[in-house]
């Protein structure tokens, strides 16, 4: 049944990304192997909630984090709901399985002063590659979009007259990202250089960000560009595109943006995902209080 379930996920690609499908497949195969080797049960449909709990306990004892285990629980929940909907089981064993509480880790971010140094003082160079690399970093930092959303931007998604970029987010949900003056100027500088670079290739490319060969930019390339440039101004061990997304949200919250507005800009489905940034703001408030209040 695992194979049928994975095929079902793949057929619903608008709801489940390739990354999610791969992760769920790996998790469920691991669970199946556990049942087979530990209890000689070959079919996960036969597993009780006690056996599921025993697997989760074994994962905790092996050192898996609550976050990893919660993802595996999510895979199991989807799987058993699938079996229940097709009347292959009569009761859902996951109803009696409780997820471990994951420790909340505050997202890392790059200081505004460090980003100012990178964007205002670091020399990116001249020409197409330099303009593209700087625009990639500016777009991530000034809009807070995900790297997958960045690489999906096409030329017709940009409306410089209205100062907006259409973003194709998770689950094919679309939202609009505002284009500030700095980003407008960088786009106007980059677009002619992009057109000229394409003239030297055989590509007919609609993607905003392209490689030197005229193909669409891809996540690993963006990661490399961001990592290399953030290394010039930050000692943070994590220097990823997602770090710029966290930096964007943190800067907004520290300057008094409403939580709902930040949620919409980030493309979060609910406030729960956005509320982590309030911790950073509270820390800043505490720091200001400590240094400013005479009795602190």
- Please pick, among 77, 81, 163, 268, the residue that the annotation labels catalytic: 268
Count CB-CB contacts under 10 A for residue 48: 13
Taking the C-alpha atoms of residue 65 and residue 80, their distance in angstroms, rounded to an integer, is 23
Count CB-CB contacts under 10 A for residue 18: 10
**Per-residue tokens: 124:** 């990116």
- Please pick, among 146, 229, 239, 246, the residue that the annotation labels catalytic: 146
268 is known as an active-site residue: yes
141 is known as an active-site residue: no
- Please pick, among 16, 34, 80, 277, the residue that the annotation labels catalytic: 277
Count CB-CB contacts under 10 A for residue 295: 3
242 is known as an active-site residue: yes
- Please pick, among 67, 86, 170, 213, the residue that the annotation labels catalytic: 170
Taking the C-alpha atoms of residue 286 and residue 284, their distance in angstroms, rounded to an integer, is 5
- Please pick, among 72, 132, 245, 246, the residue that the annotation labels catalytic: 245
Taking the C-alpha atoms of residue 254 and residue 262, their distance in angstroms, rounded to an integer, is 11
Taking the C-alpha atoms of residue 76 and residue 44, their distance in angstroms, rounded to an integer, is 10
What residue spans of the chain are helical by DSSP H?
2-11, 18-34, 49-61, 66-85, 112-120, 127-143, 147-151, 181-199, 219-230, 241-254, 259-266, 271-274, 276-292
Residue 293's φ and ψ, nearest 5 degrees, are -85, 130
190 is known as an active-site residue: no
- Kindly list the catalytic residues: 146, 170, 242, 245, 268, 277
């Amino acid at each position: 049944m695992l194979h049928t379930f994975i095929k079902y996920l793949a057929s619903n690609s608008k709801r489940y990304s390739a990354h999610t499908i791969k992760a769920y497949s790996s998790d469920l195969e691991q669970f199946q192997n556990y049942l087979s080797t530990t209890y000689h049960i070959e079919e996960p449909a036969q597993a009780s909630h006690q056996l599921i709990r025993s697997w989760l306990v074994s994962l905790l004892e092996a050192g898996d984090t609550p976050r990893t285990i919660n993802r595996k629980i999510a895979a199991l929940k989807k799987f058993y709901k699938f079996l229940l909907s097709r009347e292959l089981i009569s009761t859902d064993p996951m109803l009696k399985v409780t997820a471990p509480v994951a420790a909340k880790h505050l997202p890392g971010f790059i200081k505004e002063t460090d980003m100012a140094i990178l964007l205002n003082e670091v020399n990116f160079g001249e020409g197409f590659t330099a303009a593209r690399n700087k625009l990639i970093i500016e777009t991530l930092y000034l809009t807070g979009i995900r790297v997958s959303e960045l690489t999906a931007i096409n030329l017709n998604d940009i409306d410089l007259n209205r100062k907006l970029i259409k973003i194709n987010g998770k689950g094919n949900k679309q939202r609009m990202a505002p284009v500030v003056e700095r980003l407008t100027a960088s786009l106007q500088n980059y677009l002619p250089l992009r057109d000229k670079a394409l003239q030297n290739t055989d590509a007919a490319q609609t993607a905003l960000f392209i490689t030197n060969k005229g193909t669409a930019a891809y996540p690993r390339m963006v990661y490399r560009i961001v990592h290399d440039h953030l290394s010039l101004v930050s000692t943070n061990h994590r220097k990823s595109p997602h770090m710029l997304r966290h930096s964007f949200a943190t800067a907004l919250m520290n300057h008094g943006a409403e939580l709902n507005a930040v949620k919409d800009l980030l493309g979060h489905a609910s406030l729960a995902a956005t509320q982590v940034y309030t911790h950073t703001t509270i820390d800043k408030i505490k720091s200001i209080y400590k240094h400013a209040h005479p009795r602190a």
